[in-house]
């Protein structure tokens, strides 16, 4: 197993993203955005938990869409206080609660969580602003609505992907037609007993 070695480049901060996909490239099932039946058996595996820990180690900002922010903070806030939780889950939860959070939303007017600001602006503009100041990775965590425009603008430097051995047969795909061509280098891979793959790709520029 190799460790990811992507460089931040001359612009400073690296923009990373995390998402789980089925073999047919879906990030949810045919039942709509809440259909994660194909994902459930894999998200608590050792490979998935170790993969999750790696993705936030260098991150100092979490960039989220509104729907994911509401779901994440509703769930992970309690895990951060749960002494019986898996240490990897609790570590991520504490990071998420304590780190800077930027939530993209056209409907929220104020942030319902601490250390959070709400921004009504295109994802590419927000990331460009974040890259201009501060330090540490900017992690777009499982928010496809944010990842897609960043792929289109070629602003992602690293992709953390969990590939699950399921064909969903419906649902939204991450990689839409019309994206600009790009090349990526595999810098981390790990497989689990259930057939899941944890992959890290760095953008080659």
Element (H, E) at 1: none
| Residue 26 backbone dihedrals phi, psi, to 5 degrees | -90, 145
Order of strands across the sheet that contains 137-141: 116-119, 100-104, 59-65, 137-141, 15-22, 158-164, 197-204, 183-191
Judged against a pLDDT cut of 70, whether residue 198 lies above it is answered with yes
Of 1-10, 44-53, 171-180, 183-192, the range with the lowest mean pLDDT is 1-10
pLDDT at 64: 94
Q: What is the pLDDT of residue 35?
A: 92
pLDDT on residue 111: 86
How high is the pLDDT of residue 12? 81
107-117 mean pLDDT: 88
Q: How confident is the model at residue 18 (pLDDT cuts 50, 70, 90)?
A: very high
Which pLDDT score, from 0 to 100, does residue 70 have?
86
User: What's the average model confidence in pLDDT over 62-71?
Assistant: 90
Which residues contact residue 118 at a Cβ distance below 8 angstroms, ignoring those fewer than 6 apart? 103, 104, 105, 108, 109, 110, 111
Nearest to 92 by CA among 45, 54, 39, 44: 54
Between 68 and 121, the more confident residue is 121
Q: Residue 75's pLDDT is what? A: 84
Structure token digits, residue 164: 């699950």
Q: Tell me: pLDDT of 196 over 70.
A: yes
pLDDT at residue 72 greater than cutoff 90: no
Share of the chain above pLDDT 70, in %: 95
pLDDT of residue 161: 97
Which candidate, 26, 79, 29, places its Cα nearest to that of 49?
79
Average pLDDT, the chain: 91
């Amino acid at each position: 197993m190799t460790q990811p070695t992507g460089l931040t480049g001359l612009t400073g901060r690296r923009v990373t993203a995390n998402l789980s996909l089925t073999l047919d490239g879906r990030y949810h099932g045919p039942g709509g955005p809440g259909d994660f039946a194909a994902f459930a058996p894999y998200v608590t595996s050792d490979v998935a938990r170790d993969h999750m820990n790696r993705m936030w180690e260098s991150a100092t900002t979490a960039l989220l869409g509104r729907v994911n922010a509401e779901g994440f903070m509703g769930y992970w806030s309690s895990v951060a206080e749960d002494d019986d939780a898996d240490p990897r889950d609790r570590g991520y939860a504490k990071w998420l609660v304590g780190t800077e959070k930027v939530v993209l939303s056209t409907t929220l007017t104020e942030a319902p969580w601490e250390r959070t600001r709400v921004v009504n602006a295109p994802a590419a503009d927000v990331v460009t602003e974040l890259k201009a100041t501060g330090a540490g990775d900017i992690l777009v965590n499982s928010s496809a609505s944010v990842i897609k425009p960043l792929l289109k603008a070629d602003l992602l430097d690293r992709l953390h992907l969990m590939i699950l051995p399921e064909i969903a047969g419906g649902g939204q795909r991450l990689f839409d037609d019309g994206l600009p061509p790009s090349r990526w280098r595999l810098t981390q891979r790990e497989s689990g007993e259930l057939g899941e793959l944890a992959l890290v790709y760095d953008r080659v520029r």
